[in-house]
Structure 1
Amino acid sequence: MAKMTGMKCLVKILKEGTDLVLAGQRNASLTRSAESIDATSKDTEGFWKESLQGFKEWSIDADGAYVSNDAAYTELERSFINSENVDVLIELPSGTKYVGNATITDFSMEFPYDDLVTYSISLQGNGALDIVE
């Protein structure tokens, strides 16, 4: 199995059938988690707790260098201002894609006097995260 670096993993915003690459992206993370439901009962074998997987959730955090007039960034900004969700895609070099609808929960910018203008964004999944290969 081939190992891969994160350099070619892209975060994209889907708009009207077009994949818009989020320009200037440096880092991104996809977090997936599930609630644990306690399924322990008096007849549980050996007094060990049992659990079942409950509701799942996912989120994406990304940051990068701000690129003026970037179509993906412009769409994120428009969606944030208008309180609209966005369709997002993470594409791995292997061809695997994670696709879902998300709410923008944080959309920050930094303006250091001696460095690049940067952005950071947090997206909270709205429903399922699909895997496409």
Structure 2
Amino acid sequence: MSKISGMKVKLFIKDATTGKLLAGQRNATLNRSAESIDATSKDTAGFWKESVAGFKEWSIEADGAFVESDVAYGLLETAFLNSENVDIYLELPSGTKYEGNATITDFSNEFPFDDLVTYSISFQGSGALTTVPAA
């Protein structure tokens, strides 16, 4: 078992018109959660609550250095302004991918006086997040 450096995990956006995959983030976080449905009944042993998983959801948060000429940033900005979903995926160094369709829910720029201009972006999954094993 080998450990993975976060700098080797890349977030990609798919250009809907060309099918080309583009990358460029600095940091990313994949969030996955499931609702908890109470399945406790009167015959539950020992007065312990029981639960089962309900609806699941996923989201990705990322940030990067802002480059005006970056094609991926331009696609994200256009999708955000036009309220369009995007196809994205995170790729691990092994080639395993987490992929899905997502809504851009936050898209911020930071313009510090004494540092790089950066952006941050949040994606809310729309439908399933699939895991595609390395080929």
The TM-score by the shorter chain falls in which range? over 0.9
Residue 120 of structure 1: how far off its partner (Å): 0.2
Residue 15 of structure 1: how far off its partner (Å): 1.6
CA distance in 1, matches of 2:116, 2:80: 23
CA distance in 1, matches of 2:72, 2:89: 12
Please list every run of 5 or more consecutive structure 1 residues that lacks an aligned counterpart in the other structure: none
CA distance in 2, matches of 1:90, 1:66: 19
Residue 113 of structure 1: how far off its partner (Å): 1.6
Percent of aligned pairs sharing the same letter:
69
Other-structure match for 2:44: 44
* TM-score, L = length of structure 2: 0.94
CA distance in 2, matches of 1:59, 1:107: 14
* 2:66 is aligned with 1:62: no
Corresponding residue pairs, total: 131
Runs of 4+ off more than 3 Å: none
Other-structure match for 2:107: 107
Other-structure match for 2:22: 20
CA distance in 2, matches of 1:113, 1:39: 54
Please list every run of 5 or more consecutive structure 2 residues that lacks an aligned counterpart in the other structure: none
CA RMSD of aligned residues (A): 0.8
* TM-score, L = length of structure 1: 0.95
Other-structure match for 1:3: 3
Other-structure match for 2:122: 122
Per-residue CA deviation, residues 32-52 of structure 1 (Å, 9 max, x unaligned), is 000000000101112111000
CA distance in 2, matches of 1:12, 1:127: 18
User: Which SS does the other structure have where 1:52 is aligned?
Assistant: strand
